[in-house]
Amino acid sequence: MSKDQPLVSIVMNCYNGDRFLKDAIDSIYRQNYKNWEIIFWDNASTDNSANIARSYDSKIKYYLAVETTSLGEARNLALKKASGKYVAFLDCDDKYLLGKVGYQVQLMECTECALCYGSVIVIDENGSRVRSNSVTDKCGHLLNDLLLMYEINMQSVMIRRSILVMHDFSFDASLRFSPDYDLFMRIAVSHNLCSINKNLVEYRKSMDSLTSKLLDYIAPEMKYTIDSIRELATPSLEINNGISHALRMVEFYKSLPLIKSGNYKKARGFILKSLKARKVFFLYYVILFFPVPPKWVLKIIMR
């Protein structure tokens, strides 16, 4: 390992995540880039997670929380233990692809960007490929791009830690669904970001995931972040257009808990307000006129 390689702190927050945990950790150990540490924050798990994490060597820094906290707060506590020049994240059911860490470090060392992220392969619970969420190569002030199409997957992110320290950036612990969206968008207000057209991680998704359980929180938390951006960002026609689009997306997200409860009539009202945001929303609007079970509608929308 070259002495010139900067240290990367990889934050793993875990709460009863033993099912895929070994695969996740092994994907870090398989990286060609070797100057990393894992900040393993055990959020008071009651399963076998602790034993799995402790079975590795000293490159895993294991910390046990006194009590279970919100995900945002747990990530903040873990970040306080990080000492790397760069910070990355990996959840317990996802995996890094080969070369992920080294490729991003090389990019970060050659640019002044505060954060970079890349394309993601979505897999199911069995590890089978579902689709690829691809991003294009971009670098610069990407705030408006992200307002128009938010595409940052948490597992693909690498952040310059000095940016977090200098500006006292942290995850908002009050947010249950989108502390990562909130933090990354606040960083994007005043810093350059880079996106990479390269698959960096495998992201596991299922209908029993956290997303499907927190539908009530998506719209209000997204609105909370947009309001923060309005206060922080320099007004411009471009940003105003992006914010208008994002607010239409908020209207769409208001429909999701209503769909889950079977209140299709009220859900259609919110989707109607969001039709200009995405062409596919018209299809969802039409579907809600038919007696399709809520779980199937959500499966189509959240696929």
Give residues with Cβ within 8 angstroms of 59, minimum separation 6. 29, 36, 37, 38
Spatial separation of the C-alpha atoms in residues 255 and 258, rounded to whole Å: 5
Do 36 and 132 have their domain in common? Answer: yes
Do 200 and 276 have their domain in common? Answer: no
pLDDT band at residue 64 under the 50/70/90 scheme:
very high
179-190 vs 71-79: helix crossing angle, rounded to 10: 60
Do 32 and 141 have their domain in common? Answer: yes
237-261 vs 294-301: helix crossing angle, rounded to 10: 150
Q: What is the pLDDT of residue 206?
A: 72
Sign of CA dihedral 8, 159, 151, 173: positive
Do 139 and 34 have their domain in common? Answer: yes
Q: What is the pLDDT of residues 220-245, one digit of tens each?
A: 999 999 999 999 998 887 899 999 99
| Residue position matching structure tokens 């062409």 | 279
Query: Above 90 in pLDDT, residue 1?
Result: no
Do 251 and 199 have their domain in common? Answer: no
Q: What is the pLDDT of residues 68-117, one digit of tens each?
A: 999 999 999 999 999 999 999 999 999 999 999 999 999 999 999 999 99
Count CB-CB contacts under 10 A for residue 64.
13
Do 154 and 276 have their domain in common? Answer: no
Q: Which amino acid is at 252?
A: F
Do 14 and 97 have their domain in common? Answer: yes
Do 26 and 98 have their domain in common? Answer: yes
Q: What is the pLDDT of residues 118-144, one digit of tens each?
A: 999 999 999 999 999 999 999 999 999
Q: Is residue 111 part of a domain?
A: yes
Residue 85: which of 63, 65, 106 has the closest Cα? 106
Parallel, antiparallel or unpaired: strands 129-133 and 95-96: unpaired
Range of the domain at 146: 8-169+189-204
Tally the domains of the chain.
2
Do 195 and 253 have their domain in common? Answer: no
Q: Is residue 184 part of a domain?
A: no
